[in-house]
Amino acid sequence: MILCPRCGADAEPGQEYCLTCGDRLPGPGLERQTGRLPGWQRRSAIALVVAVAGAAVAVAASEPGADRAAISTATGEFAPVPTTSTLPSPPDAGGRTTDWPAGEDGWTIVLASVPQTKGRRVAATRAAAARRRGLAQVGILDSSRYASLHPGYWVVFSGVYASEAEATSALEPARRVARTATVRRVVP
């Protein structure tokens, strides 16, 4: 017979827990627990404390104080279309290809991107077809000359716009001609 170290109740040899108080009994290979957490539990508790402290610091740093400016976020509809354009609009020269204004950045509607390996003639054919179907200001760009476009393509475009909103407003008629037409920024 052995005695429970906590309550003094009798226990049988090989019994792991006291039937009176529920404390774990010492035995062969078992040592009396000291109240300290085992190693993995201690490391987990330390990691939890560090994570909670880090979260508290992050929340405190992200709250606007008296010395921080408030950040305003606009949500909603498209930006209003400017009343005047900063880019010159090249006239559609009766069936001729429109050129992009030299050195100007702006927005356009890309009707097609033709690999330069297929030749400019394929792009010119698509541009002519777009003009025949009623699109104005149709032109061809060499994408290698513009930083915002992937190099190696002839880009068939429609229109030169000062803003993305302006280009987006003209997208629907362009999609009747080329269903994959997209608005893109052109930066020299």
Domains of the chain: residue spans and CATH: 2-59 (no CATH), 106-186 (3.30.70)
pLDDT in the model for residue 92: 43
Token pair in block for residue 20: 């009176």
Sign of CA dihedral 105, 109, 115, 118: negative
What's the maximum distance between 2 C-alpha atoms anywhere in the chain? 111
Buried b (16+ CB within 10 A) or exposed e, 168-184: bebeebbeebbeebebb
| Top-confidence residue, 96 or 135 | 135
User: For 125-134, how does the pLDDT look when each residue is reduced to its tens digit (9 = 90+)?
Assistant: 999 999 999 8
Separation between Cα atoms, residue 73 and residue 55, nearest integer Å: 25
Residue that the structure tokens 């109740």 belong to: 9
101 Cβ contact partners less than 8 Å away, ≥ 6 residues apart: 87, 88, 90, 160
User: For 3-45, how does the pLDDT look when each residue is reduced to its tens digit (9 = 90+)?
Assistant: 888 898 998 888 888 999 998 888 765 444 555 666 788 888 8
Q: Is the pLDDT of residue 171 over 80?
A: yes
pLDDT in the model for residue 106: 92
